[in-house]
Amino acid sequence: MEYLPLTKDDRDLIEAAASVIKKNYVRGRHQVGAALRGSSGRVYTGVHLESIVHDICAEPVALGAAASNGEREIDTIVAVAMVDDGEPQVLSPCGTCRELITFYSPEASVIFVADGEVKKCRARDLLPGSYGDSTKA
């Protein structure tokens, strides 16, 4: 996998995700925050929605906010989870979110965790042999 260098903009995006979950944290309802930078440069955030029957990750909430404001391409996306000491930590996207991000923007940069370190790569590299790839054959 090709890792990309983390930039100041990436650190700012992580901080935006941390900020949205710190402001809106409710145990058992909102424990993960996401931030994405669109190709316009604007930043959109979202928190995950937990319920008794189905949870919705923070990434699609942020993506929905972006799409609702006319943003069509993800430049970079990250999610963070609240941990016990109250300092959010970067969280890797789940499989469903990897499909979603790759469907909308295969060239998007995704900030995630590998081998205990915060890394960044292209969305398509997080999902080799994806469902989306199989429907293009």
Count the site residues for Zn ion by CB under 5 A: 3
Binding mask 19-38 for Zn ion (x = CB under 5 A): --------------------
Q: Does 110 bind Zn ion (CB under 5 A)?
A: no
Residue range at the interface with Zn ion (CB under 5 A); choices 24-32, 55-63, 65-73, 107-115 = 55-63
Reference 61, options 81, 29, 35; nearest CA is: 35
Please state the closest distance from residue 97 (CB atom) to Zn ion, in A: 3
Q: Does 17 bind Zn ion (CB under 5 A)?
A: no
Contacts with 91 (C-beta within 8 Å, 6 or more apart), sequence order: 32, 79, 80, 81, 112, 113
Please state the closest distance from residue 17 (CB atom) to Zn ion, in A: 13
State which of positions 57-76 bind Zn ion (CB under 5 A).
57
* Active-site residue, selected from the candidate residues 15, 50, 59, 107: 59
Q: Does 113 bind Zn ion (CB under 5 A)?
A: no
Contacts with 69 (C-beta within 8 Å, 6 or more apart), sequence order: 42, 44
Element containing residue 81 per DSSP (H, E) = strand 74-81
Reference 75, options 99, 96, 104, 95; nearest CA is: 104
State which of positions 70-109 bind Zn ion (CB under 5 A).
94, 97
How distant is the alpha carbon of residue 57 from its chain centre?
A: 9
Active site residues: 59
